[in-house]
Amino acid sequence: MLLLQLAWRNLGRSRRRTALTLAAAVFATLLMILNLAVSAGSQKRWIANAVELYPGHFQVSARGYRDTRSLDDALVLSDAQRAALDGLPGAEGWAPRLEAFGLASADADRATGRGVQLLGIDAARESKLSRLLRGMREGRAPARGGVREIALGDQLARNLGAKLGDTVIVVSADAFGSQTADRFHVVGEFHLGASELDGFAAIVDLAELQDFLGVGGGLSHVAVFAPEPRAQTQIEASLAAAFPADRYEVLGWPQLVPELVQFFRIKDIGDWLKNGLLLIVVAFGLLNTILMSVFERVREFGVLRAVGMRPRAICGLVVAESLMLSLLGIGLGFGLGIPLVLFLERHAIPLTGAEMRASLAVFGLEPVLEFALSRSALVALPLVLVAVGLVAAFLPALRAGRSRPVDALRET
Amino acid sequence: MTRICVVLAAALWLAGVARADAPDAAEIVRRAEDALRGNTAEMKLRMAITTPRWSRELVVRTWDDRPHDRSFVRVLEPEKDKGTAFLRDHDAFWTWLPRVERAMRIPPSMMLQSWMGSDFTNDDLARESSLEKDYVPVLLAGQELEGVPAYQLELRPKPEAPVVWAKVELWIEKARYAPLLYTYYDEPQPGHFEPLRTLRFSDIHEVQGRPLPHAWEMVPMDKPGHSTRVTLEEVKLDQVLADDIFTQSNLRKSEAAR
């Protein structure tokens, strides 16, 4: 107790030195908080980007469909199920979809067919939920009624040699396995930055595709959009109630975009390495300031030894001092850092470098630096920083403990 | 010493008998394929497709010209699919779409897709790959299938073959070299084979000296309740097929479907 009191007084005795070490601790804390916020922000951005591009946060399909991809296992919604989807708490909305594999070719004799993924969508709903229709570079979304309309991925359009206003031939298998073919008018061309969509996908109105394939009201799946993580548990429960597991399958986004989860696993390793390096730098910064302060206090420690203080107590004194300093520093760092991150969470920093913008555009990302408060920043970071502070204090403390009154005498 | 000599001689004699008895594996495959396809073949087939939810029937006429490596298929029934036609010339594969009156070239990647919703593939109907040309056969030990004396063969694809099945197991009747049962395998992991579908032949009677099965039933393993049964209604083997059957203009003649 006496030791702690002494340590506290020592901090007050040399304000400049204290301020310097404190500044180092605050700076280190801030740096770590911002670093974690940037990686949490980019993770959030990647999730939003991949999930909102098309898949959605949940997908409901009939059991068996995911294995067979067969129209035999199409999903047909009852009125009660529609009502349940409309009433999902905290969800942004839902979109019915029908997907089918087909071949498309230019509308010329002997043109080569290319594999195409037909996406039958409800444009009014889809435009409010996914980014699918926001990628429409030219033209518009296909509508229903009249002639059959289609929007092509830009790469697919190039491969087919089709432009806006042209017609293309689409062949697929209908609900009875029979071949179905028709002419579709190209009304739009989209670019979404995902090669599997730009190169192979074509958008058609849902009702038109249902008619083309003869599936009545059949759907491949219903996508539910619920970006708020806190609402997702409740939504999952409501979906499970409306779509019992023996006949339906409800999947969440980690199962829908497994490659994203994989990507985060790799990214986590990278983040961990980066944070580890940063922590080492922080530890050396603290070590340096504490060590310098110990060198300054040769006389002080010599006198303490001369009046009978044990080396171990001196060692403890230095550790106690730096522990107080780092606790104070971490506290201040959090006091500054958390509001800063909360502010930045709402005000993403736009990136202006042309190269950076271009490289993000490849992934269909907005050129902004996003921040997010991560749970690990709040829980793990203070503990880790205290541990680092202790480690950094240890060497100077040993050194202080070895002080001899003789050295103090020699010091002028 | 003499005893060993006697045993050896007996063994050699037995081996000789066995060899004389069992013809070369390639020869067995050739004769079975000849029975099924002839040198050339024109057939009228009735194809019954059964799934758990629906069933339907197609009637098609096929022309298979092995010497020139080309084939032609035209759908005669039902009304909905009538006129749809398929032409293969070497590795180019075309389909005629009567509804839009266009011929579309089907990419090679689609050869293993279902043909008209059946359990046969485009390749089965167009007969691009050949058990005789694209696989190396090995005679296995099996002696009879369901009481019928038969050869058991295992076919592995040649390295440069454009095909498809990791392994095909054939059972071929000994007496007439008629095909009885083909099992097609996938190889999901190296060295691990899984049967994907079986093709069973029955109703064998002779056509122009060949033991031709008149009923073929394809059953996929991964789709319970699905099967496709083909029955031969007309067969003409080994006739000379005119060049103008295998042309784009014949492909377009969707109305002249006889």
> Any residues with CB less than 8 A from the CB of A55 and at least 6 apart, and which?
A223, A253, A256, A257
Q: In terms of CA atoms, which chain B residue is nearest residue A106?
A: B104
The interface predicted TM-score of the complex, written ipTM, equals 0.81
A340: contact with B, CB 8 A cutoff: no
pLDDT for residue A307: 86
Eight-class DSSP state of A28: H
pLDDT in tens, A212-265: 999 989 999 999 998 888 888 888 888 888 888 899 999 988 888 888 888 888
Distance from CA of B245 to the nearest CA of A (A): 17
**Cβ neighbours of B80 (radius 10 Å):** 16
Q: Which residues of B touch A176 (CB under 8 A)?
A: 54, 56, 117
* Residue B16 banded pLDDT, cuts 50, 70, 90: very low
Q: Which residues of A touch B248 (CB under 8 A)?
A: 110
Hey, of A63, A67, A71, A72, which one would you mutate to test binding to chain B, going by the most B CBs within 10 A of its CB? A72
Question: Does the distance separating the beta carbons of B117 and A169 come in below 8 Å?
Answer: no
Question: How many angstroms separate the CA atoms of B129 and B168, rounded?
Answer: 13
Q: In terms of CA atoms, which chain B residue is nearest residue A105?
A: B104
Question: Does the distance separating the beta carbons of B84 and A179 come in below 8 Å?
Answer: yes
> Any residues with CB less than 8 A from the CB of A2 and at least 6 apart, and which?
none
pLDDT in tens, B148-183: 999 999 999 988 877 678 999 999 999 899 999 999
A114: contact with B, CB 8 A cutoff: yes
pLDDT for residue A156: 92
For the four alpha carbons of B62, B65, B66 and B71, in that order, the dihedral sign comes to negative
For chain B, percent of residues with pLDDT exceeding 70:
89
Q: In terms of CA atoms, which chain B residue is nearest residue A111?
A: B104
Q: Which residues of B touch A215 (CB under 8 A)?
A: none
Q: In terms of CA atoms, which chain A residue is nearest residue B119?
A: A177
Q: Count of A–B CB contacts within 8 Å?
A: 74
Question: Does the distance separating the beta carbons of B223 and A107 come in below 8 Å?
Answer: no
pLDDT for residue A60: 92
Question: How many angstroms separate the CA atoms of A122 and A309, rounded?
Answer: 81
Residues within 8 A of A (CB atoms), B 162-181 only? none
Eight-class DSSP state of A219: B
Distance from CA of B9 to the nearest CA of A (A): 59
Hey, of A65, A69, A109, A114, which one would you mutate to test binding to chain B, going by the most B CBs within 10 A of its CB? A109
B97: contact with A, CB 8 A cutoff: yes
Distance from CA of B208 to the nearest CA of A (A): 34
Structure tokens that stand for A35 in this block: 């670093």
pLDDT for residue A311: 86
Burial per residue of A184-222, b for 16 or more beta-carbon CB atoms within 10 angstroms, e otherwise: bbbbbbbbbbbeebbbbbbbbbbebbbbbbebeebbbbb
**What end-to-end distance do the CA atoms of chain A give, in Å?**
32
pTM greater than 0.80: no
Q: Which residues of B touch A66 (CB under 8 A)?
A: none
Question: Does position B230 have pLDDT exceeding 90, yes or no?
Answer: yes
Average of per-residue pLDDT across B56-76: 92
User: Which range, A343-347, A355-359, B107-111, B199-203, is most confident?
Assistant: B199-203
* Residue B2 banded pLDDT, cuts 50, 70, 90: low
* Residue B18 banded pLDDT, cuts 50, 70, 90: very low
Structure tokens that stand for A43 in this block: 């993770």
A172: contact with B, CB 8 A cutoff: no
pLDDT for residue B199: 94
Distance from CA of A186 to the nearest CA of B (A): 16
Q: In terms of CA atoms, which chain B residue is nearest residue A64?
A: B223
H/E stretch holding A289: helix A258-296
Distance from CA of B210 to the nearest CA of A (A): 33
Regions of chain A where pLDDT drops below 70: 359-367, 376-377, 411-412
Residue whose entry in the numeric block shows the structure tokens 């502010």? A343
> Any residues with CB less than 8 A from the CB of B57 and at least 6 apart, and which?
B46, B47, B48, B49, B77, B78
pLDDT in tens, A169-209: 999 988 888 889 999 999 999 998 888 889 999 999 999 99
pLDDT in tens, B73-84: 999 988 888 889
Question: Does the distance separating the beta carbons of A176 and B54 come in below 8 Å?
Answer: yes
Question: Does the distance separating the beta carbons of B103 and A110 come in below 8 Å?
Answer: yes
Question: How many angstroms separate the CA atoms of A302 and A400, rounded?
Answer: 9
* Residue B20 banded pLDDT, cuts 50, 70, 90: very low
B209: contact with A, CB 8 A cutoff: no
B49: contact with A, CB 8 A cutoff: yes
Hey, of B50, B53, B94, B97, which one would you mutate to test binding to chain A, going by the most A CBs within 10 A of its CB? B97
Query: Residue A298, exposed/middle/buried by CB under 10 A (0-12, 13-18, 19+)?
Result: middle
Q: What is the CATH number of domain B23-252?
A: 2.50.20.10
Residues forming beta bridges with residue B59, ordered by sequence position: B46, B77
Q: Is B121 helix (H, G, I), strand (E, B) or coil?
A: strand
